[in-house]
Structure 1
Amino acid sequence: MYSDSVLLESRSARSGMAHRVEVLDKVKALAFSTGSTQATTKDVANYFEVALNTVEKVVSRHREELESNGLHVLRGVDLPEYETDKLSVSSEAQGSYPQRRSGLTVFSRRAVLNVAMLLRDSDIARRVRVYLLDVEGNVQPHGANGAVRCPDEELRNTVRTLALGYGPLDRRVTGLESAGAELGAVLRELGPVIGRISERLERMDSRLVQTERRTENTEKVVCAMSRRLTDLGEEMREMRGDLRDVMRATGAKPVTRRPRS
């Protein structure tokens, strides 16, 4: 047995009771300004005795759920013809001509009952939920022998509810499949580009290795030249020492060069 708060919070609970549209007329007569079995947003607001934008907010927050229960927008050839007083009039200029609607949101009886299970601040909606819970609580699901009894009409309503519930899921899965296919195509296009970039990176890596080898060879040559210059310095010092020893032994004097005139 559901409670009022469960209906307000649980979509699955609302879905299980969406077929019991007869409770609407038990609480209050539902008037259709369209002359058909489809109520406009204004009709729904009048039924629940709330502001028009209150119903519009509920539709905005729960559009997918309401659409699964019969909410849709009439456009083009599907939009009924209305008298002048039912046309939308622009508020920009008082002297402007009436402008026909580009679209009209309509509610099936299931969608109206769905709104009743979503509206928190409406006494009419609360009474609908109470009556709905009372009706549901009085249903005897078992037969005399204890077996579960499901009337044909209730079974059909259950099947329709499940079909409507799985519709949005099927559309989401289809969207994911389409997105996956597009992603696969993009990855296939990026494959050759990534391959070329990889080849260029490998060539750059090879060049860096060669540059490192050349740098190492250059360092070795510079080190060898440095050692050779050091050895030459030592040899020059030894030669100067030997020359001084010879000059002392022979009594020779260093030759002083005269500057050229």
Structure 2
Amino acid sequence: MPTEVALLESRALRVEQMGRVDVLDKVKSLVMLPDGIHVRTEDVARYFEVSTEVIKKVIQRHRGEMEENGLTLLRGAELRGFHRDMLSLWGGEESESYPQAATQLTLYTRRTVLNVAMLLRDSDIARCVRTYLLDAEEDLRAGYASLDRRVTRVESCLAGVGVALQELGPVLTRMSHRLDSLDRRLEATNQVVGAMSVRLGDISEDIVRMDARMDDFVLQLKDLRRRRKRR
């Protein structure tokens, strides 16, 4: 698990934590400018309860890293346009109290403020932010470890199932052969039953013909008896 010192000294470790801007509000409310995106140097200093000079020194030592995480310096037309946007968002009487920088303005995003928290040594608020980050990292690692153990158990179960299926393979093959044999015997039986059905149909027709002949014979016999009586 990374330590607080490692987080202070390793840029790679800080990059890994840069998405955890939610930690800032868990420690202390960060008051943003009206656009909800930026804060100024004095706002960052107020959040970490240090002087603006301390924040400026952190920026000077790590400007490249800060700029990668949202640090912006406005001058000239960009600065005037930004002020106009803020005044329009501020609105009403509050716009009169909005402080406007004369020549330049340094702006920070939440990512930049989190970056400062991982670099600022002499601030209790910054230390609290780092503690939250490291605790969350530990919880995440514990979660991954638990998940890994569950996956291992599942893999072990699946391995057992695989062995069982391998053992059942020959049994299933024999059952398949027997079912095929039964299918063939059933088909032969169906053919015999079909032939018997046809034969029975023929016998039935023979019986009908014999019945008709018997009827004719009986009629002839009766007729012969009547003739004998007349004589």
TM-score scaled to structure 1, two decimals? 0.48
Q: CA–CA distance in 2 between the matches of 1:110 and 1:33?
A: 15
Residue 73 of structure 1: CA displacement?
1.6
Residue type at the aligned position of 1:21: V
Q: CA–CA distance in 1 between the matches of 2:151 and 2:4?
A: 32
Residue correspondence of structure 1 range 14-25 to structure 2 within 5 A: 14-25=14-25
Aligned residue number for residue 163 of structure 1: none
Aligned residue number for residue 151 of structure 2: 145
Q: CA–CA distance in 1 between the matches of 2:65 and 2:113?
A: 12
Residue 85 of structure 1: CA displacement?
4.0
Residue correspondence of structure 1 range 35-74 to structure 2 within 5 A: 35-74=35-74
Q: CA–CA distance in 2 between the matches of 1:108 and 1:141?
A: 30
Instruction: Verify: 1:108 aligned to 2:126, yes or no.
Output: no
Instruction: Verify: 1:30 aligned to 2:33, yes or no.
Output: no
- Segments of structure 2 that go 5 or more residues without pairing to the other structure are 88-94, 153-231
Residue type at the aligned position of 1:145: V
Give the length in aligned residue pairs: 135
Identity rate, percent: 46
* Root mean square deviation, CA, Å: 1.8
Aligned residue number for residue 214 of structure 1: none
More helix by share: 2
Residue correspondence of structure 1 range 149-228 to structure 2 within 5 A: none
Corresponding residue SS for 1:14: helix
Corresponding residue SS for 1:60: helix
Q: CA–CA distance in 2 between the matches of 1:21 and 1:87?
A: 26
- Superposed CA deviations along residues 199-225 of structure 1, whole A, max 9, x for unmatched, are xxxxxxxxxxxxxxxxxxxxxxxxxxx
Q: CA–CA distance in 1 between the matches of 2:113 and 2:14?
A: 12
Corresponding residue SS for 1:145: helix
Residue type at the aligned position of 1:54: V
Residue type at the aligned position of 1:20: R
Q: CA–CA distance in 1 between the matches of 2:99 and 2:16?
A: 37
Corresponding residue SS for 1:105: strand
- Segments of structure 1 that go 5 or more residues without pairing to the other structure are 89-99, 147-261
TM-score scaled to structure 2, two decimals? 0.54
Residue 37 of structure 1: CA displacement?
1.5
Residue type at the aligned position of 2:48: F
Corresponding residue SS for 2:102: coil
Residue 86 of structure 1: CA displacement?
3.9
Contact kept, 8 Å, 1:7 with 1:117, in 2: the verdict is: yes
Corresponding residue SS for 2:32: coil
